[in-house]
Structure 1
Amino acid sequence: MNITRWLATIDLLCARDFPAEYGRTDVGTGGPGCHMAELATSGDFWEGGRTERAETEARYELDRDALGERLTERWGAPGTLSLGGVLERSLSGGEDIPEPWASLSAHVPDVRLWKQPETGRWIALGVSQWDKELPFQLLAVITETDPP
């Protein structure tokens, strides 16, 4: 865990302009109105058992919470947004969910949210896993798009 490095990445992205088009960046991905930083990535679980996976998931959640404590010192208590309902609304076809929330809901169950008062940008922290065999990731999302 390297909270100092993660905070520096978040600070950089809070100040950086958003890319004009979606694509890879030096810290993850980005596009119009959003940056998504891959702060930490675990190994995969093709060979690992359930215990290793559960321990890794717990460690990534603890890392998210520890980083969240530092962001809370800056911007106050976070909100929590469950993305399960967002995914359901996106898949049902009845609602057009804006990015980054639509794609984030496909692999992150929930996020902690802060709104940076200076810029009005949202900062979200979440733990991602696309499938049970794939790595966990600690993600920071900086966006100007309000959560759905």
Structure 2
Amino acid sequence: MDVVARHLAAIDRLRARDLPAGGAGHHTVVLETGRGPRAAVADDLHALREAIAGRLGARWGETPPWGQLTLRLRLSRGERVPEPWASLCLRTDELGLWQAGEVWLAVGVADRDEADEIRLLAAVTRTAPP
């Protein structure tokens, strides 16, 4: 199984997990953690995110990347941003974002913290992005 297919299967399993009915439940998982020189790892994981986004776009429609700067500014002003969006905006610069039924799916590369490993993340929630 190729790496994109493996991550799509993990995303499908994530979507199948129970979320509290009518609640703001969410699940976020690490699909892959990069190893090696930071710049090369970031490039590789961003390319992988793009490949996954292409396949998910074929399922649920093409969507432009969703930038996180506005949410970070809202947080810095003391506004309340619901989870998982608050955590994701602090960890990623942009997300691939789709709505599949009542569930929102986001895929992004957590590379904002220079002291932390770079990770490819997927999140599901019933809470619409703010």
TM-score, with length taken from structure 1:
0.78
Cα distance in 1 for residues equivalent to 2:86 and 2:93: 12
Deviation at 1:130, TM superposition (A): 4.7
Structure 2 gaps of 5+ residues are none
Q: How many pairs does the alignment contain?
A: 128
- Please state whether the residue corresponding to 2:113 is helix, strand or coil: coil
Q: Does 1:126 align with 2:108?
A: yes
Fraction of identical pairs, as percent: 38
Deviation at 1:129, TM superposition (A): 2.3
Superposition CA RMSD, Å:
2.1
Cα distance in 2 for residues equivalent to 1:115 and 1:8: 17
Aligned to 2:28: 36
Q: Does 1:7 align with 2:8?
A: yes
Cα distance in 1 for residues equivalent to 2:109 and 2:91: 8
Pairs within 5 Å for 1:1-148: 2-18=3-19, 32-43=24-35, 52-93=37-78, 95-116=79-100, 119-148=101-130
- Please state whether the residue corresponding to 1:70 is helix, strand or coil: helix
The one-letter code of the counterpart of 1:33 is G
TM-score, with length taken from structure 2:
0.88
The one-letter code of the counterpart of 1:107 is R
Structure 1 gaps of 5+ residues are 20-30, 45-51
Deviations 1:82-103 (CA, angstroms, capped at 9, x unpaired): 112101111211x211111011
The one-letter code of the counterpart of 2:122 is A
The one-letter code of the counterpart of 2:94 is D
**Aligned structure 1 segments of 4 or more residues deviating by more than 6 angstroms:** none
The one-letter code of the counterpart of 2:125 is T
The one-letter code of the counterpart of 1:142 is V
Contact 2:4/2:52, CA 8 A, preserved across alignment: yes
Return the structure number with greater relative CO, CA threshold 8 A, min gap 6. Answer: 2
Which structure has the highest helix share of the two?
2
Q: Could you say which structure has the larger radius of gyration? A: 1
